Amino acid sequence: MLTPKHLHLCAIVLAISTAVSTQTVLANVPHAPSSTAQPDTDQLIIRFRDNASSVAVDKALSRLRTEKGEKFTYAKTTHDKADVFRFEKRKKKADWDKLSVWLKQLPEVEYVEPDFIMNRMEVPAPVTPNDPYLSYQWSLLDAVSGIHAEQAWGYTAGQGSVVAVVDTGVLPHVDLLPNLLAGYDMIADAAVGNDGNGRDSDATDAGDYVLAGECGSSTAINSSWHGTHVAGTIAAAGNNAEGIAGVAYAAKALPVRVLGKCGGYTSDIAAGVIWAAGGTVSGVPVNPNPARVINLSLGGASACGSTMQNAINAARSKNAVVVVAAGNSNTDASQFSPANCAGVVTVAATGKNGGRAYYSNYGNIVDLAAPGGSMNTGIAADGIVSTLNTGTQTALADTYKYYQGTSMATPHVSGVVALMLAAKPTLTPDQVESLLKSSARAFPQPCASCGTGLLDAAAAVQAAVNFTAPVDPYAVLLSDLKKNRDLWRAQNLLNYTYVLEQKTGTSAALRLKLTVKAGVLTEGVNLASNKKLSARDLKAKGKTIEQLFTQIETAINSKYAIVKTAYDAALGYPLDSFLDKSTSITSDNVSLKASSLTKL
């Protein structure tokens, strides 16, 4: 089976316990390597072609067993009809690449990719303070290095926005409960889920603690409660006399659990993205609260595979904005997925001084940066404080702790997007990204290759409020065409003659008198020569009025450089049209004119 590519939670946690348990290691649980380790997995995604018969697919799988000696079982089917297979032995990426080359030469196979695992990128940090109040949230309030949240709250606190936290799940923290929606646990493997079952409607974080010897770790690691921390930054309740305030403290957080013990498979994460946006995932009820914002504080060293890219495309088709952490490896973010996927907002992290955090990835794919904390100063309060839990393995009591990482920077951006959409719900994902980037302010300290600037909530929300989408001239043309076509159809003229004048490029105009009966061209005469058109010429050069409308509509939808139209005021048929496929008048241009309409 393909070695899963490990995508890591892009968080740097405050503290790591050294406690060791005698519990035995779970079988078939993928391990979580460091951010620089070669990814591995025990699952492979194979997309068979739609026209491949079940017999051909079975034969291909049989060849994989007999010719390559592989032992595997069917695991599940993904949202885009690819099949996931679990292999007996884990493989490194290089080994999967070799097997993938062999599989891709089979005619039944459309694409193959390892079902890599996404996981946390953890780096230990020192102390945790006990005083969790708004005044500790420098990332929201500091005039130099914060995001200017207070000014943004003058416009909106995010009412009506839903933000999906695609993560480890979320705990029912007292400061989150007022804004917490019912989500979904998308982890298919019970061992990874660490909750005794597979996919279900309980998105509660069951804990992702690691015992010594598990997941490639030589020491025990406490549960991170990572999703709870991320959710708090986005939507911890405000004005409730409790703890902290989220960036969008009146928005709703939708927990989607995709990361568990030792991480999470790409296929589960992709399914979580689809479901969060309101898409269909086989065997899972439709999400009743589709999210317009999807937060992915996770990542791993790999290219963006088809499974993840298809999920992001599907979410964007539902008008969702996908916000992704750049990663914590202090290297080019283009090496990490899903940060390197198309159509996402990729976020780098800044420290307390407003410059690039020492761990943050960077590069041309980064769109902007946001506060992620920098506790290498030895000061815990230089991190990002948010909701958490005191439990080291299973959940115990609510608390607040400081974390640092691009995982913490990303929810700042997601929260601001929630504010923007609350202020202007009609914004598209591309418009949101453009406004975020154009409203970002200059970095107070160096942050090379960190995108267009530092996230500015106030400027972004104001830009959203003031935003007016440019008028699309083609949309206006299409609207006019439909109105006039309706006017034409209202006449119900199925029997008529008219003169069609058509000119292409610099050639002389061709004038044809055409006869239409029962809506079908029956006869045509070239008025220049007074000769009747042959059946072939009639088919090639003649058009009914309906066909003229269709030609003009095609030109508009194709967004030719120039489309000019005029219509008969009474009947709505095309009085004059000019189409040009190029940016200058060339032989591509076509002018059409209908006149002398006579009812038969």
345-350 vs 368-371, strand pairing mode: parallel
Per-residue pLDDT, 509: 85
List 42, 167, 367, 456, catalytic entry:
167
Residue 1 lies in a domain: no
Least confident of 4-13, 373-382, 537-546: 4-13
* pLDDT higher at 9 or 342: 342
Alpha helices for 323-439 (secondary structure H):
406-423, 429-439
Q: Is 236 exposed, middle or buried (0-12, 13-18, 19+ CB in 10 A)?
A: buried
Per-residue pLDDT, 118: 76
Local confidence band at 538 (pLDDT 50, 70, 90 cut-offs): very high
Cα separations in angstroms, 356 against 336, 363, 403: 18, 12, 16
Per-residue pLDDT, 89: 84
Is 50 exceeded by the pLDDT of residue 1?
Answer: no
Per-residue pLDDT, 188: 94
Residue 350 lies in a domain: yes
Q: Which of 166, 261, 274, 152 lies closest to 213 in space, CA to CA?
A: 261
pLDDT, tens digit (0-9, with 9 covering 90-100), for 451-488: 999 999 999 999 999 998 888 888 889 999 999 999 99
| Cα separation, 250 vs 418, whole angstroms | 10
Per-residue pLDDT, 45: 93
Q: Which helix (H) or strand (E) holds 47?
A: strand 40-48
Per-residue pLDDT, 216: 84
Residue 16 lies in a domain: no
Average pLDDT over residues 265-285: 97
Least confident of 10-24, 155-169, 528-542: 10-24
| Cα separation, 413 vs 370, whole angstroms | 7
List 297, 360, 386, 407, catalytic entry:
407
Indicate if 167 belongs to the active site. yes
List 226, 267, 334, 337, catalytic entry:
226
- Amino acid, res. 297: S
Per-residue pLDDT, 127: 27
HSE value, Cβ hemisphere, 13 Å, CA-based, for 455: 39
255 and 145 in a common domain: yes
| Cα separation, 505 vs 393, whole angstroms | 75
Least confident of 216-220, 287-291, 582-586: 582-586
489 and 381 in a common domain: no
Domain boundary at 444, 466, 488, which?
A: 466
Is 70 exceeded by the pLDDT of residue 2?
Answer: no
Q: Which helix (H) or strand (E) holds 473?
A: helix 473-491
Residue 43 near residue 2 (C-beta atoms within 8 A): yes
Q: Note the residue count of the chain.
A: 600
Q: Report how many domains make up the chain.
A: 3
Q: What are the two backbone dihedrals, phi and then psi, of residue 437, each rounded to the nearest 5 degrees?
A: -70, -40
- pTM for the whole structure: 0.75
Local confidence band at 241 (pLDDT 50, 70, 90 cut-offs): confident
* DSSP, residue by residue, 203-217: -------B-TTSTT-
Is 90 exceeded by the pLDDT of residue 190?
Answer: yes
| Cα separation, 151 vs 497, whole angstroms | 66
384 and 480 in a common domain: no
Cα dihedral 149→152→157→158 (10° resolution): -100
336-337 vs 321-325, strand pairing mode: unpaired
Q: What are the two backbone dihedrals, phi and then psi, of residue 415, each rounded to the nearest 5 degrees?
A: -65, -40
Q: Which helix (H) or strand (E) holds 535?
A: helix 535-541
Domain boundary at 413, 433, 466, which?
A: 466
The two three-digit tokens of residue 63, written as one number: 């060849």
Residue 199 near residue 283 (C-beta atoms within 8 A): yes
Average pLDDT over residues 95-101: 87
Contacts of 522 (CB under 8 A, 6+ apart): 515, 516
Per-residue pLDDT, 162: 99
Residue 480 lies in a domain: yes
What does the longest C-alpha to C-alpha distance in the chain come to? 99
Indicate if 588 belongs to the active site. no
Indicate if 226 belongs to the active site. yes
Average pLDDT over residues 125-151: 76
391 and 345 in a common domain: yes
Check which CATH number belongs to the domain holding 47 and give it.
3.30.70.260
Average pLDDT over residues 184-194: 94
Average pLDDT over residues 545-568: 90
User: Residue written as tokens 């000696």?
Assistant: 69
Give residue 284's domain range: 134-466
| Cα separation, 260 vs 205, whole angstroms | 8
With vertex at residue 67, the alpha carbon angle to CA 60 and CA 47, rounded to the nearest 5 degrees, is 30
Q: Quote the strand ranges of 390-493, DSSP E.
A: 398-403
Least confident of 427-431, 505-509, 573-577: 505-509
Q: What is the b/e burial string over 204-230, where b = at least 16 CB atoms within 10 angstroms of the residue's CB?
A: bbbbbbbbbbbbebeebbbbbbbbbbb
Residue 123 lies in a domain: no
272 and 417 in a common domain: yes
Sign of CA pseudo-dihedral 117, 87, 109, 98: positive
Residue 551 lies in a domain: yes
Per-residue pLDDT, 511: 94
477 and 461 in a common domain: no
Residue 17 lies in a domain: no
Mean of all residue pLDDT scores within the chain: 88
Domain boundary at 466, 491, 513, which?
A: 466
Is 70 exceeded by the pLDDT of residue 231?
Answer: yes
